Amino acid sequence: MLYGRVLVPPAVVTELNHERTPSVVREWLLYTEIVKIWLDIPDTAVKQLAEDGEDLSRAALEALAVDAYRMNRISGYQLCQLLDIPSRHDFDGFLKRHGVPLEDSVDDFERESTTSARLWQKRQAERSAAPNRDRRPE
């Protein structure tokens, strides 16, 4: 691949999607599947919008994604995909850092309760069997 990343302004994308644009160009646009958004932000506001050393582009993407999640426009799975969040634990931490309450359903609590009860019973059975295994003949 000659270029790993090509930035195409929205007006150019619109023009390239014209019906008379060669099909190979329109197919390339579909292949890229990434929309780039430019924001004009005054320098005075940049420091207020991102913490020292924080990537403002990443902060904007996270804010947009969190808002979409809060509005139920995207799922937790989609949020993780969009932001490369690798695990449920990391996802929960991300939501906490952004002030988003966890939305566990009654089914989630019942499933976790059932799992906890099963694991507790298994552990009790292991503990009661342990003295018999470790016991030495007299």
Taking the alpha carbons of 3, 8, 12, 16 in that order, is the dihedral positive or negative?
positive
| pLDDT confidence bin for 14, thresholds 50/70/90 | confident
Whether 81 maps to a domain, the answer reads no
Whether 4 maps to a domain, the answer reads yes
* Count of domains observed in the chain: 1
Q: Which residue has the higher pLDDT, 2 or 51?
A: 51
pLDDT tens digit sequence for 93-128: 999 999 988 776 677 677 778 888 888 998 899 888
Whether 46 maps to a domain, the answer reads no
Measured from the Cβ of residue 82, the count of other Cβ atoms closer than 10 Å reads 15
Q: Which domain range does residue 19 map to?
A: 1-38
Amino acid at 60: A
Whether 133 maps to a domain, the answer reads no
Angle at alpha carbon of residue 125, lines to 119 and 131, rounded to 5°: 135
Whether 16 maps to a domain, the answer reads yes
pLDDT tens digit sequence for 33-48: 566 677 788 888 887 8
- Which SS3 state, helix, strand or coil, does residue 38 take? coil
Model confidence pTM above 0.75: no
Whether 30 maps to a domain, the answer reads yes
Whether 23 maps to a domain, the answer reads yes
Whether 110 maps to a domain, the answer reads no
